Amino acid sequence: MSIPEKNYPRTGDTQTIYLNTVITNPNIKVGDYTIYNDFVNSPIDFEKNNVLYHYSINQDQLIIGKFCSIACGAKFIFTSANHALKSLSTYPFPLFWEEYDLEQKAVTQAWDKKGDIVIGNDVWIGYEAVIMSGVQIGNGAIIGTRAVVTKDVEPYTIVGGVPAKPIKRRFDDEIINKLQSLCWWDWDKKQLREKLNDIMCGNIDQL
């Protein structure tokens, strides 16, 4: 499926954007048709306002799948926000290597490395939710408003709270397995259009 050529999917709506049309950081990868809505700041500034402590020295990645819906104020917090717990002090001395005559390569000793944030396809991330470094979220999951996600989320699972915990699964095992197998988000636009009504109406047997 080709990447959308336009930034804004809705005529006259400059608060909602196709996210992959404005990403410039090579360590942020976003799938086709994933949208971000922001009614406070410009959605074009997603990298600056929503992807935090994402220092290039770590080479960690934010990977977001196709057809995700990301609400205003959702934040993705990366490794360098995590001060090193093995240290006897929480102060990040290695960040200020020049001040203390440390070697520049010591910078990454200031934090505990957690890893990439990986978001599956068709994930809905609610208003002001926070996703922490190292977390993986499965296809079809829903992250509740202002949830703080510190652990992996299973496919088609709804989570909420601080820290986020499972509330319920959206479907039973049979439907989840079928959806995982179908991977409708990889269909071409013609096939998707033909089956769109069945997707929206929950007609799994018609897919």
Are 15 and 70 members of one domain?
yes
* pLDDT at residue 1 in the model: 47
Q: What DSSP element (H or E) covers 201? A: helix 189-201
- Say if CB 155 and CB 176 are below 8 A apart: yes
The total number of structural domains in the chain stands at 3
Q: What DSSP element (H or E) covers 189? A: helix 189-201
Q: Is 54 annotated as catalytic?
A: no
* pLDDT at residue 6 in the model: 79
Q: Are strands 35-37 and 148-149 parallel, antiparallel or unpaired?
A: unpaired
Q: Cα torsion at 26, 31, 34, 36 (round to 10°)? A: -10
Kindly state the DSSP code that residue 182 receives in the 8-state scheme: H
Average pLDDT, the chain: 94
The one catalytic residue in 7, 47, 49, 83 is: 83
CATH of the domain at 21: 2.160.10.10
Percent residues over pLDDT 70 in the chain: 98
The pTM (predicted TM-score) of the whole model is 0.93
Rounded to 5°, the CA angle 174-69-67 comes to 60
Q: State which residues form the domain around 187.
A: 176-207
Under the banding of pLDDT at 50, 70 and 90, the label for residue 4 is low
Are 103 and 66 members of one domain?
no
| C-alpha to C-alpha distance for 176 and 29, rounded to whole angstroms | 25
Q: What DSSP element (H or E) covers 180? A: helix 173-182
Are 124 and 71 members of one domain?
yes
* pLDDT at residue 5 in the model: 58
Q: What DSSP element (H or E) covers 77? A: strand 75-77
Are 8 and 63 members of one domain?
yes
φ/ψ of 92, rounded to 5, equals -85, 70
| C-alpha to C-alpha distance for 187 and 143, rounded to whole angstroms | 25
Are 97 and 194 members of one domain?
no
Summarize pLDDT for 146-194 with one digit per residue, the tens: 999 999 999 999 999 999 999 999 999 999 999 999 999 999 999 999 9
Are 65 and 100 members of one domain?
no
